[in-house]
Structure 1
Amino acid sequence: MMNYLQPQTVPPMMIILSLLYLTAYRGHLLMILLFFETIVLMLIILTGLWLKKGLLFSILILLTFGACEASIGLSLLVLMSRTTGSDFISSLNLNKT
């Protein structure tokens, strides 16, 4: 019998679940940012599982991109909540002139 909860199978399942939830639930900007963070963290874990010890520099690059993504997302969340009063995606109206 095959065990599906091996360390190599959990991060891809989490990435797929995060992408499914991201497409299904797009109400709040905070939830979208949390799904993006989950995807980035699972990519970092997958990179650490698949790479050898000599290629740990790529994990550092992924961590840097994850931190940049988190800071930009948080600043957009603060800007959106200040201008619209909430973090609902439906409150954005891109057709304003």
Structure 2
Amino acid sequence: MRRIALIFMGLAGMAQAESWSDLNGAEIAAALNEQTLQYEDATQVFYESGRTLYDAGRPSWGYWAVRGDQYCSQWPPADGWACYDMQRNGDVLRFIGESGHATDGVLTR
């Protein structure tokens, strides 16, 4: 019986560890403004000016904004904006694209 209780406690801990919260516009702005995210193979800095620097071994400058309850970015020379829903789990931020594909980044500062 004790073993079963430990298994359930472990499953509850795993579920809690995967506790993602949807972010609204104000929460997205607060989470990203003047912050740096570490992705698997890159970093990205979000400046208060609306500029963003993505570096995967080569710097790429773009723009970021919050529109409604979504994070949006633009990467010149393209003039269109791509927008993403966002979730948070502790220091991990998740960007969810229109197709449902998710990218996670860890806040480093």
**TM-score normalised to structure 1 length:** 0.28
Higher helix share: 1
Higher relative contact order (CA 8 A, sep 6+): 1
